[in-house]
Structure 1
Amino acid sequence: MCRWLAYSGRPIFLDSLVTQPSHSLVAQSLHSQLNVSSAGVLLSTNGDGFGIGWYHKRPEPGVFKDDKPAWHDENLKNLCHQVKSHIFFAHIRATTTGDVQRTNCHPFQYKNWLFQHNGHVSHFDKIRRELQLEIAPELYPHLRGTTDSETFFLLALTYGLMEQPKQAMQKMVRRVITALEGVDKAGVLNLSCALSDGEKLFILRFAHNEAAMTQFYSADTDCFHEFNGQCNPIPNGSLVVVSEPLDKASDKWTSIPTNTFTSIIKNRVHSEVFL
């Protein structure tokens, strides 16, 4: 399991969310509060790598990631202190699938698209080959790691993610479930995903055969009132999506419904039923 955040709105420095808050993503890499496994065990440590992705003046995003624990990397702290972006992702990893290596860290990038994921699929070792054979030949060379997440991303790209994000993600999920049910009818798929093309932000919260991973968003400029330290409020017209709140869970944070696909343009949120 993992933790992640995504931001969309007026440009802010990445450290405003990634390192400064009292329960920032880096703080969650040591002390997550809501990261519960499928067995009901709290996974408080997310130390199997990290990554950030951000958009600035070029169509393609910048990406920085490593297989070190996020709390251990001064380069991450320094970079977040200097980089400002209108859309950015950050991810900390606790692996259930794939080795601890840089190529398995999120977010994953293809052209102007970013993708990050929290969740899992059971029996990935048994369905991996079937799914990866579906990846378009021109996309297959971009498969560099061993995670289910990267396979999901490349499958969605194969199915038209860049033109029709929701439909492509639906087709990918149906394909994964078909493969999974061929191995185990009670098999589990859980997807908490963020995607962006640099202009819009897309969020998926979906679960098959178990409870969905937590997801929250806030456009409340005072949603970080509980922060300690020198944290500035988020600007008007901006929005943050998180695996778990960056301060105390409160009515400032709205839970995203299960089995929905959400499109976000700045702070305008539109959720649709998914599958």
Structure 2
Amino acid sequence: MCRWLAYQGTATYLDELIYVPEHSLINQSLEARKGATRINADGFGLGWYTQRDIPGQFHEVMPAWSDDNLRSLTHHIRSHRFMAHVRSSTGTSVSRSNCHPFVVDNWMFMHNGQIDEFEKLRFQLERLLPESLYHYRKGTTDSELIFLLMMKNGLSSNVNNAIIETIKDIENAKSEREVALPFKASICLSDGEQFWVVRYSSDQEPPTVFIKAEGENVSVASEPLEKSKEWKLLKPQTITHIHGLSLTTTQIRLDM
């Protein structure tokens, strides 16, 4: 599975988190410690906010550790809010359109995990998308589809509800197609002003997400970037809303 990180706070150069720390995202792409796969070499992506309405993005299919363009860009791009992702494919092709984070208007989304037996569910889930959203479907991943389903479920008006309704859509499809293996997800999304971070799994054992708050700077990552007691593991089956210095946790209850 993949590794990712997100940051908000004082504007900083991206390489300060992506390259510099002892267990940076680049190091995690070579040797993840808490993921299902050790190597994450199936492409990478960046997304960052500036004063523009739409975030910038850069995707590439090379392993993150070997790309000189990534090293140069992160050394020169400075942002108060950004996301970065290194990919380990769960079956779909290695292509730029399948690299995270995914962007629609002011929204960014990235995901670690999978909808198991996705090919059994893909047609049924894609049919839930209205035509107005389907044209945003550029790749073939379950991750991008999860993002678009959240948009279909009202992401712009009620984020927590959109997340929960999307999980219900997936769990209902699994039940109808008799897929017993769990849907696993660690998700980060932003509208440019705040983050929502999800830890969810059908079997109550979602992928790890850690958070570190230092003053007005907040980092969230699949794995701690360095040895520090300040990194705290987020609780499973929760949505964590990060807005400025405020953190609010909502328990995910499906009531199905």
* Structure-1-length-normalised TM-score: 0.90
Q: Deviations over 1:47-99 (max 9, x none)?
A: 00000000001011000011110001111111111111111000000011311
Q: Look up the match of 2:177.
A: 183
Counterpart residue identity of residue 96, structure 1: T
Change beyond 3 A, Cα 1:98–1:185:
closer
CA RMSD between the two structures: 1.0
Which position in structure 2 is the counterpart of 1:121? 115
| CA distance in structure 2 between the aligned counterparts of 1:26 and 1:185, rounded to whole angstroms | 34
What are the Cα deviations for residues 8-56 of structure 1, in whole angstroms up to 9, with x where unaligned?
Answer: 11111111101111211011111111112xxxxxx21100000000000
- Whole-angstrom distance in 2 between the partners of 1:129 and 1:137: 14
Q: Does 1:261 align with 2:255?
A: no
1:210 Cα shift?
5.2
Matches within 5 A, 1:246-257: 246-248=225-227, 250-257=228-235
Amino acid at match of 2:223: E
Runs of 4+ in 1 over 3 A off after TM superposition: none
Indicate which of 216, 220, 244 corresponds to 1:241: 220
Equivalences for 1:31-50 in 2 at 5 Å? Answer: 31-36=31-36, 43-50=37-44
Distance in 2 of aligned mates of 1:134 and 1:264: 29
Unaligned runs of 5+ in 1: 37-42, 221-235
CA displacement at 1:266 relative to structure 2: 2.4
Q: How many residues align?
A: 253
Instruction: Say if 1:14 and 1:81, in contact at 8 Å, map to a contact too.
Output: yes
Name the structure 2 match of 1:75: 69
Percent identity over the alignment? 39
Question: 2:148 maps to what in 1?
Answer: 154
Q: Secondary structure at the match of 2:131?
A: coil
2:124 is paired with a residue whose SS is helix
Please give the per-residue CA displacement for 1:172-224, whole angstroms capped at 9, x wherever unaligned: 1000000011122523101100000000111011110251101100013xxxx
Question: What TM-score, normalized to structure 2?
Answer: 0.96
